[in-house]
Chain A
Amino acid sequence: MSETVRQRPPVDRRTEGPAPLAPARSTRTPLGWWRNPWRRPYILATATWMYIAWSLLPVLIAIGISFSAGRSNAVWQGFSTQWWWGHPKSDPTGALFVSPELHAALIQSLRLSFLTMFVAVPIGVAFAIGISRWRGPAPAGANFLMLFSFVIPEIIIGISMFLFFTYLLKFVHLGTGAQLLSLVTYQVSYPVIIVRARMLSIGKEYEEAATDLGASPTQAIRRVLLPLLYPAILVSFVLVFADTIDDFITVRYLSGGASTEPLSVKIYNFSRGTLTPAINAAATFLLVSTLVIALLGVFLYRRITRGQRAEGQEMTGYLT
């Protein structure tokens, strides 16, 4: 581009007169429509809406099928809640809240997600605070470990944890303990990444102002830094919960038997065999519990940030 500008002979506008107007183009013809710089981006808009439909419609259909009256999970055969609560006329053992197997798995799912959330987030937040202020080569190494655990395929964590608990740490039996330890290892990087990004954007000024005004370092963290970090911490809680309750890859190898398999593993195991709408009900249940936690997060976020929320700085900002 720069070459063409340089090659163009200089024009003396004082002698040549004003530059000729660009030829008027009609925007009615197809070519003119295409060239119109103020044209709305119809193609991109269509692509975006098609993508959104593609990404969400199948899930809505799957949710609908969980309320189907038939045994098929391919077509909806009338409304019923028999795959949720069972129905006296049909076989009740397959329903989500009735079948003892699915019910136990549901409890295990919720237990693992809450435990992971409450272990991983505090460790991750403290780590993020420490690593942002601690100078030297050691924090860079620790941070690399965190990022590495974030991007490697989950199956690697699953297999290495399985070998670890089978051969070295034998006193941790496969089951809830092993599942929890590996889930926390895999999830702890979420709060670290989110809180660190937030700390970078906050900067050190507020803390320094607090200590200049006489606060001790601990007071400065508790009364100044932590309140500023609350939104990021909330987002971490929600994300860790959402990701844990869906997790089946790490957990699958570490379940000590059918009794400690969470719902996600059950869904995976069933979906390779014969499917019934009860599996749809189970997956919908996972979705609903995630949504409840997310809505709770949004509600708390609004309460915490009332008055200090900048325009356009919404919860979604943390995810990008």
Chain B
Amino acid sequence: MRVLPRRRSREEASGAWYPRWYWPGFALPGTLWMLVLFVLPFYVVVSVAFGTVDPIFQSPLPVYQPWWWTKTYLLEEWHLVTGEFRPVEVRTIVYVVLATAICLVIAYAVAYYVARFGGKRKGLFLALLIAPFFISYLMRMLSWVELLQLNGYVNSVLTFLHLTPHPINWLDGVPFTVVIGLVYGYIPYMILPLYGFLDRIDQSQLEAGRDLGASRFWTFVRVTLPLSKPGILASLVIVTLPMFGDYYTNNLLSGSPKTTMFGNLLDNSMEATGQGPRAAILVLFLIIFLMIPMLYYMRETAKAQRNQ
């Protein structure tokens, strides 16, 4: 009897056989889109930043060839950034750090409570915590603008309780309003990632901590906190980086030069024409500045993945 040669298809050798272009083909539209509409615009930003200025209209003239780039305007702006804009930068960093710290404390408490003690009400809590995602940022800020007006409800409650003799003008360059506004705007984006990580913590690890004699406090510090570190890092990145470019919270809640942030510098340079390539150069500086926390975050997550 002749043994038929067993037909070995390539599918059998390693699951299904895919043409080489198969998977890249799926990613192609997205990759092309990002290259043309994300990377190329950045090249234009760089070209404007290193370009020249129209002598009559003071409008920027981008230079696309790197060998003809000039540093004149870049150095001019650098002088401003290290000199005249210094107070604005310091203020931005102070506001962002304060707002992030307040965000982290509140968000951690809320996420921890819902993740550990939510119980049957977890679904309700999550719906209430997700609700701000679906309410526009504008609407949430607008409602505070209305509440904080001179004849608004906040002032009427405060005067009713005799906490202040006369209404406070909250919307006239009060740093406290801006910082709390930032907290209010960004805190939902912090609670959800934190909740995701806290919810995944195995309860038995906490019980083990308690069984081995750690108090509530030390179980939290030595078990829960280290386990939620990746969540804290991720939520810090999600909240802090956009805050550095925020100008609208400040514009809506204060609008006074006393609370100008870096984002306002960017926005002002876009609104007023004839400032040459300032907007592009400031964007470039901001990106370079934001690369530092971004790279730190990527290094930390890579380290955590290697340790697993």
- Measured CB to CB, the residues of A under 8 A from B are 1, 5, 37, 40-41, 44-45, 47-48, 51-52, 54-56, 58-59, 61-62, 65, 72-75, 123-124, 126-127, 129-131, 133-134, 138-139, 142, 145-146, 148-149, 151-156, 158-164, 167-168, 181-182, 184-185, 188, 192, 208, 211-212, 215-217, 220, 239, 242, 245-246, 248-249, 253, 264, 267-268, 271-272, 275, 279-280, 283-284, 286-287, 290-291, 294, 314, 316, 319-320
Contact = CB atoms under 8 A, between A and B. Distances in A.
B23 to A, nearest CB: 4
A316 B146 contact: no
Interface residues of B, number: 105
Contact of B110 (A47, A159, A314): A47
A45 B113 contact: yes
A84 B173 CA distance: 32
Chain A interface main SS type: helix
Given A55-B131, A58-B143, 9 more contacts: A55-B184, A75-B151, A139-B27, A185-B33, A185-B38, A211-B11, A248-B248, A264-B136, A280-B146
Contact of A320 (B26, B193, B280, B290): B193
B125 interface: yes
B41 A160 contact: yes
B175 interface: no
Contact of B130 (A130, A151, A154, A319): A319
Interface in B24-77: 24-31, 33-35, 37-42, 44-45, 47-48, 60, 62
Contacts of B136: 245-246, 264, 283, 286-287, 290
Contact of B30 (A192, A239, A253): A192
Contacts of B294: 148, 151
A133 B21 CA distance: 12
B133 A155 contact: no
Nearest to B11: A211
Contacts of B131: 55-56
Contacts of B193: 320
Nearest to B115: A320
A37 B128 contact: no
Given A44-B112, A74-B149, A58 B28 contact: no
B146 A62 contact: yes
B146 A319 contact: no
B44 A188 contact: no
Nearest to B197: A320
Given A153-B263, A164-B40, A271-B252, A287 B135 contact: yes
A280 B144 CA distance: 12
B31 A37 contact: no
Interface of B: 11, 15-16, 18, 22-31, 33-35, 37-42, 44-45, 47-48, 60, 62, 106, 109-110, 112-114, 116-117, 123, 125-147, 149-153, 184, 187-188, 192-193, 195-196, 199, 210, 212-214, 216, 218, 222, 237-238, 241-248, 251-252, 255, 263, 266-267, 270, 279-280, 283, 286-287, 290, 294
9 contacts: A48-B113, A51-B110, A52-B125, A74-B150, A145-B34, A155-B245, A164-B40, A167-B44, A286-B136
Contacts of A62: 139, 142-143, 146
A160 B45 CA distance: 6
B203 to A, nearest CB: 14
A74 B154 CA distance: 10
Nearest to A144: B298
B244 A59 contact: no
B206 to A, nearest CB: 12
A126 B279 CA distance: 34
A139 B34 CA distance: 13
Contacts of A123: 29-30, 33
A154 B218 CA distance: 40
Which has the most chain B C-beta neighbours within 10 Å: A129, A160, A164, A208?
A160
A267 B138 contact: yes
A98 to B, nearest CB: 21
B33 A45 contact: no
Which has the most chain B C-beta neighbours within 10 Å: A41, A149, A167, A264?
A167
B305 to A, nearest CB: 13
Given A138-B24, A159-B266, A320-B199, A41 B29 contact: no
Contacts of A151: 237-238, 241-242, 294
Contacts of B184: 54-55
A184 B33 contact: yes
